[in-house]
Amino acid sequence: MGELKRRGVLFDVLDFKRDPKPSGIWLGSNEEVANCIGIGRGIGVSIETVNLSVERAVHLARGLDSAVFLTFGIDPGPRPGIAWLSDGVLVGTAQLEFVDDVIDHILAIASLFEYDRLRVKIGDGSPVIRDRLANLLIARSIEVQIVDEKQTSKGPRHKSHATAAIRIAMLKGFKVMKKRHLEVTNGEIKELQRRSRTASNGRLTIASDLSRSVAVGRLSLDEAIDIQIKRSH
C-alpha cells in the first residue's frame, strides 16, 4: 500500500471473506494468487518483490505488458538514471544509487514485459562507467547503442539524471558490436579518491591502483576502502 501511495496509484483494499473472486488487476501474497488462478489478473507480492510487483501492476493497467521494441536509456554516472520505453511510450524511470545495480535493474524490469526486441542506449558521458555497462550488456547478448549526450542538453538544465535517460532512450545512437577497452583517466582516479575520503569521513584516501579497480568494476568503493584499511594496518 505504501508503494502504491508513493506512486500516486489509486487502489481498493480487498477482503477475501467478502470478495473471494476479485476482478481486474489485484495484488496479493503468492499463496493467494496461486489459489485464485484465472480470477482477474493476480500478481504475487513478497517483501523482496514489492517494487517490481507494483511495477507489473502499473504496466498491466496501462496496457503496456507487451512491446515490439523495449528500449532502455541510461544516463551514466556514479548515480545513474534509467528510463524505459515500450514502443516509444515512456513507461517508467529510476535513479539508482550504485552503478553495479544497473544491469540487474534492467533485467528485472525487462522480465515484466513480452517483447520482440530489447535494446539499451547509453549516454557517452562518464566513459569508463559507460563502457563498463556496455561490456556487461554485450556479455549478455543485449543490443547496445551509444548516444551522443550533447543531444540531451537541449532544453532546461534542471533536468534529473532520469530525465536525461529519457532523452537518451529516445535518440538514435551507434550500435556497439564488441566489448570496449576500458581506459581510466587521471581525473577519474582523483574523483574516486575524493569520494573515498568522503565515504571514510576523511580517515583515508584509497591508492590509485584501487581507484582504477573501482573504475573498471573489479571492486566496489566500499571494498576498496576496506582493502586500504588493511594495507594501512
pTM: 0.68
- Please, where are the H alpha helices in the chain? 2-6, 30-35, 50-61, 102-110, 127-139, 161-170, 186-199, 208-215, 221-232
Q: What angle do CA 10, 12, 14 make, to 5 degrees?
A: 155
Final residue in a domain of this structure, among 142, 158, 183: 183
Same domain, 35 and 131: no
Final residue in a domain of this structure, among 63, 93, 108: 63
For each of the chain's 233 residues, which pLDDT tens digit applies? 998 898 888 888 888 777 667 778 888 887 887 777 777 888 888 887 788 888 888 888 877 777 788 999 999 877 889 999 888 888 888 888 878 889 999 998 888 888 899 999 999 888 888 998 999 999 999 999 999 887 655 544 445 788 889 999 999 999 999 888 878 888 889 989 999 999 999 999 999 999 988 887 778 888 999 999 999 88
Q: Return the C-alpha torsion angle 167, 169, 170, 175, nearest 10.
A: 120
Measured between alpha carbons, how far is 47 from 29 in angstroms, rounded to an integer? 10
Measured in whole angstroms, the distance separating CA 20 from the mean position of its chain's CA atoms is: 36
Per-residue pLDDT, 122: 96
Tell me the three state secondary structure of residue 146: strand
- Which helix (H) or strand (E) covers residue 122, if one does? strand 114-123
Same domain, 79 and 172: yes
Per-residue pLDDT, 20: 64
Measured between alpha carbons, how far is 43 from 26 in angstroms, rounded to an integer? 6
- Number of domains the chain is built from: 3
- Structural domain including 27 reads 1-63
Same domain, 173 and 122: yes
Same domain, 58 and 77: no
Same domain, 179 and 70: yes
